[in-house]
Structure 1
């Protein structure tokens, strides 16, 4: 369908693929994720219903953006509305214990959704991370007494697993924004739901650890572009995956490395949920690891250095 209708990602700019590659993988992931919970569990109850509505909006937003690139302000507006639906349905991360938790949850969902969108920058990378993150977060949901959320995440895990062989390097199809925004939104909202009503320490660890790879990747990009005076809105090859590739990692090994990192932090979140480690220790480990992983890659030169131009004779 993508090839017949011309829904393809064409080479050019900072993109590494050499031939037009079909989109619509994200549509398959979204359908495979949404149909099982609705079919098996019937009408969803709040707040999972809010997540489903927002996820559909993200998939449609991403699909439109794949076909006709949208202005950033339009994307952010739709993401804010979708996040608002989720918050109104009862998902609020208790970071401060005050009314500030509502806007903080809105911002966090939007930021993490876009972080996963940015993580889709190399064959198999986001697919592998999504498989691991969704599987472990599903287990966390089941042990937390959230079976409907667990079913949704299990469906996402299986959908991403079915998609990955076709997206493995060299990719035969891309998920596009329809898939990356959908995956990011579901994982961000699921993590927020699992910490709703918990302590602030649990909330910090429960938000950071399941989405660790995407947050670290975005932190690396934002910091490196700020240091280089580059806009964070333009594309580039300065992501964590690109840096690993420069170190000699193949694309499959890069995807597996990111998935392994997601597995470690996801399991740490599950261990915290099982009360085998305190929320404080889990938060300190997650925050410390994030700071190290965001800071270390800054030592790798990504952008060419600009030498100062000599001043004309007689002028300073």
Structure 2
């Protein structure tokens, strides 16, 4: 665990220093776009924070190659280089889009190419599903499923990037939960070492988000842009896929190995990696449906994302971000507690996680809906309007 803590602190320190440098250089050379109609901020702000995050992540990977504790991560160096190569590609495309606003088809093509690099050259694919030993029968099915999964998560994370500190904070919470899950899962599976690629990527992303947040917190001095959001989505999806290669699906589906509840023991290992990005996936799905029903491209920008709706309900920027944090924590922690309960045979098995989720969701609903009542009761001159927050 000490090595993981060192990785987090190292990545955070490097990312923070580089973020400050990128911010200063961006201001000096005016490397920032103008205000768009859908933007919430009112002053031009640099969007190249993803570059600093990428360099911090790369530095952590390179340092790990010299650390004997992470030798298992580098057993197959081609996989690591494929991950870094795909990440570099998506960051470069993201930077180009942040500066010159690329066509959505170019960005989508680059996303599929980056996902393909990880799946093909890195050989990180969804080979099996931990449900009673169900395996993906075709290599092409495995490859296709992996690529589409990575692309969906990338876009889901990118779609919620609309408020100061939103993506960095949500991804920080999600990766903390996933790190705890992957660490426990490998340990409970009887592995000879706790060090693995999935947990390492999660630790690196925790550090990158911690290092970036001080400059991204409201009022933000620096945005991560598409380069940072797409990178986070890419690496989060990769870490979730990497964990499937550690587990024997027949054992994961075994009632004795994964607790007294066979249903939860079989499904939680595949549900939790999805649950940690549930809000981004929900926002992404709603946006695609909404835009296609209107006859538009699913990637055409608009101002109807979940965080925009919270602002229209009367939340401040910071309150909306904190509510997103709360939802992410409640939902992901509930599933983590259910996994721990079934694995360690706590009294009631998964019921602690269910109770935590029910109470937490109720509290989040109250906090989420409360501002709309305050806004309705306010004088017309004080009620929030779309123009007031655009």
The TM-score with structure 2 as length reference comes to 0.66
| Cα distance change on mapping 1:54 and 1:206 into 2, 3 Å | farther
| Cα distance change on mapping 1:202 and 1:146 into 2, 3 Å | farther
Tell which structure's C-alpha radius of gyration is larger: 2
Question: Residue 32 of structure 1 contacts residue 156 of structure 1 at CA under 8 Å; is this kept in 2?
Answer: no
Structure 1 distance, partners of 2:307, 2:107, is 25
1:76 corresponds to: 108
Question: Residue 155 of structure 2 contacts residue 230 of structure 2 at CA under 8 Å; is this kept in 1?
Answer: yes
1:17 corresponds to: 41
Unaligned stretches of 5+ in structure 1?
A: 305-316
2:256 corresponds to: none
Question: Residue 49 of structure 2 contacts residue 222 of structure 2 at CA under 8 Å; is this kept in 1?
Answer: yes
Structure 2 distance, partners of 1:31, 1:140, is 26
- Give how far 1:134 is off: 1.7
Question: Residue 188 of structure 1 contacts residue 211 of structure 1 at CA under 8 Å; is this kept in 2?
Answer: no
| Cα distance change on mapping 1:165 and 1:270 into 2, 3 Å | same
Structure 2 distance, partners of 1:228, 1:75, is 22
- Give how far 1:39 is off: 0.6
Describe how 1:131-146 pairs up with structure 2 within 5 A. 131-143=172-184, 144=186, 145-146=194-195
Question: Is residue 2:147 matched to residue 1:106?
Answer: yes
Question: Is residue 2:214 matched to residue 1:165?
Answer: yes
Question: Residue 160 of structure 2 contacts residue 280 of structure 2 at CA under 8 Å; is this kept in 1?
Answer: yes
| Cα distance change on mapping 1:212 and 1:195 into 2, 3 Å | farther
Question: Residue 34 of structure 1 contacts residue 152 of structure 1 at CA under 8 Å; is this kept in 2?
Answer: no
Describe how 1:48-197 pairs up with structure 2 within 5 A. 48-88=80-120, 89-93=122-126, 94-95=128-129, 97-99=136-138, 100-143=141-184, 144=186, 145-196=194-245, 197=247
| Cα distance change on mapping 1:139 and 1:49 into 2, 3 Å | farther
Question: Residue 210 of structure 1 contacts residue 269 of structure 1 at CA under 8 Å; is this kept in 2?
Answer: no
1:41 corresponds to: 65
Structure 2 distance, partners of 1:244, 1:77, is 32
1:218 corresponds to: 284
The TM-score with structure 1 as length reference comes to 0.80
Question: Residue 50 of structure 2 contacts residue 227 of structure 2 at CA under 8 Å; is this kept in 1?
Answer: yes
2:318 corresponds to: 252
Indicate the SS of the match to 2:74: coil
Indicate the SS of the match to 1:155: helix
- Give how far 1:78 is off: 2.0
- Give how far 1:37 is off: 2.8
| Cα distance change on mapping 1:26 and 1:192 into 2, 3 Å | same
Question: Residue 169 of structure 2 contacts residue 325 of structure 2 at CA under 8 Å; is this kept in 1?
Answer: yes
Aligned-residue RMSD, C-alpha: 3.2
- Give how far 1:128 is off: 0.9
Structure 1 distance, partners of 2:338, 2:279, is 18
